[in-house]
Structure 1
Amino acid sequence: MDTVAIYSRVSTSDQDASRQLHELRDFAEREYPDAEIVEFVDIISGTATDEAEQYQTLRSEIATDGVDAVVVDEISRLSRLGGGEIHDFIQHAIEYDTSVRDREIGLSIDVDGSEVDQAVKQMLASLLGDLAKIEHKQKLRRIRSGIAAAQDAGKWTGRPPTGFTVDEESRLRVDVEAFLRLRAGIERVAAGEDQANVADDIGIATSTLKNAYTNRADLYLYGGADDERLEAAVNEITPLSEPEAIPVTDEERVRQIVRDELQSGRN
């Protein structure tokens, strides 16, 4: 019995992932009615840890003569694994007498075809990969352009800082209770209290408090920020009261130690 492998790359945000797999199964069962169907699916989250493990497993199965044919939804998607990956994969499959089928465009590279036919179809597959990479880059540029336009219009496009929310028009608004709670936490740390204890007391992560204390103390204590969108949001609750304590930089802390030592020496 022949073994036919289905390979699919689906995104965690792809609403059509189940549909794609269902259509691949139907295609494989229709084209290879007597074959055993095995599936290899990589879930792509967009992080740096995505390593296409199932794709590598599929290549290993091909190398051990465990697969007679591979069916993919769009072979052009392999171009996202790296330059030349489509050509390399097809070469790998042919070397081990494995056919490759593209369901979307009907491309079929069969091991029993002529060398000329295989070469032409490999060139076509590589061209599809190049076009897919160009389309992907254009999509990224459009996304970046859209984000920049939204930011220029005063809209917040990412996750809001602690103590802020985003309204229906994507404008930053202050969550007064959360903002003042974090402000009080910064003051307590500035007064010498332990960050972890303060964070636990006010109900936020220690890393969140540390980041606010180190990088955004001016925002929470005085309402000052380099980003006009943040300043505009904080202006809704100004004037802020004078902070009871303010963060001390490492340089100021060293200077104070030196001053104390000098004063102690004089005494």
Structure 2
Amino acid sequence: MFVRAYLRASTKEQDANRAKSDLLAFAKEHGLQIAATYLENESGASLARPELFRLLSDCQPGDILLIEQVDRLSRLNGADWNKLKDEIRDRRIKVVALDLPTSWGMASGNADEFTSRMADAINNMMLDMIAAIARKDYDDRRRRQAQGIAKAKDQGKYRGRPEDKSRNNAILSMLKGGQSWNTIVSATGCSRSTLARLAKRAVA
């Protein structure tokens, strides 16, 4: 059994590595050793998370996916959450979250079959509940943000996010110099949508 830690933050400005010390402390307290750590800066509302799926493909049956909070794993809508759950179930991976005490027993592997099945059923139910709450929180924040922008526009106060001119000029130079998109994304941390917009500007 291997323990694989997954650390996610939504943007490049956030530190996906922030919770690593908490996961290491939890593992030590439960007599576990983290075999690999996977860091990702992607939205939890999207299934397009290469590091998460690299972790899943690396897992063997019985391995543990260790996370700080359930929302680090999912802010997905219902359909996408079911797809991710199916992937985890089919690979027979145990999800252990620091904010979900019902999952902690999954880390021991010492329970008898009946106790293990009961704990697994309770844990899956709790995962579903917390994942649904995380999604609702995501949707509520998006709704409040949209309402705030609409109000600011009505009042003539909305100016949008200020452009990072120095970064964008550097990206334009890289595009004109023939650098690949993958190289530019890795070097600057910009999104591919931003890169596509700047690429149009570069040929305008």
Give TM class, smaller chain: 0.5 to 0.7
Q: Work out the CA distance in 2 between the residues paired with 1:160 and 1:149.
A: 19
| Equivalent pairs, count | 159
1:148 alignment partner in structure 2: 150
When residues 78 and 86 of structure 1 are mapped into structure 2, their CA distance, relative to the original with a 3 A threshold, is farther
Q: Residues 149 and 92 of structure 1: is their aligned pair in 2 closer, same or farther, counting only changes over 3 Å?
A: same
The corresponding residue for 1:9 is 8
- State the alpha-carbon separation in 2 of the partners of residues 131 and 45 from structure 1: 16
Aligned to 1:60: 57
Q: Which residue is 2:122 aligned to?
A: 120
Alignment RMSD, CA only?
A: 3.3
- The 2-side partners of 1:133 and 1:150 are apart by 26
**1:264 matched to which residue of 2?**
none
- Take 1:139 and 1:154, find their aligned partners in 2: how far apart are those partners? 22
Question: Which position in structure 2 is the counterpart of 1:134?
Answer: 136
Gaps of 5+ in 1: 162-204, 211-267
Residue type at the aligned position of 2:156: G
The separation in 2 between residues aligned to 1:14 and 1:92, in whole angstroms, is 34
Q: Which amino acid aligns with 2:86?
A: D
Question: 1-side partners of 2:29 and 2:149: how far apart?
Answer: 44
Q: Deviation of residue 160 (structure 1)?
A: 6.5
Deviation at 1:207, TM superposition (A): 2.8
Question: 1:105 and 2:107 equivalent?
Answer: no
Percent of aligned pairs with the same residue? 27
CA contact 1:24–1:71 (8 Å) conserved in 2: yes
- C-alpha deviation, 1:83, in angstroms: 2.9
CA distance in 2, matches of 1:159, 1:84: 34
Structure 1 residues 99 and 79, CA gap change in structure 2 (3 angstroms): closer
1:90 Cα shift?
4.7
Name the SS for the 2:81 alignment partner. coil
Shift of 1:134: 1.1
TM-score by length of 1: 0.50
- Tell me the SS of whatever aligns to 1:135: helix
Q: Tell me, which stretches of 5 or more residues in structure 2 are unaligned?
A: 164-198
Match of 1:165 in 2: none
Report the residue type matching 1:9 in the other structure.
R
Contact 1:87–1:125 under 8 Å retained in 2: no
Pair 1:207 & 2:201 matched: yes
Whole-Å Cα distance in 2 between the matches of residues 206 and 6 of structure 1? Answer: 39
Write the letter of the residue equivalent to 1:55.
L
Under a length normalisation based on structure 2, what TM-score does the superposition of the two structures give? 0.63
Equivalent residue in structure 1 for 2:70, among 72, 75, 81: 75
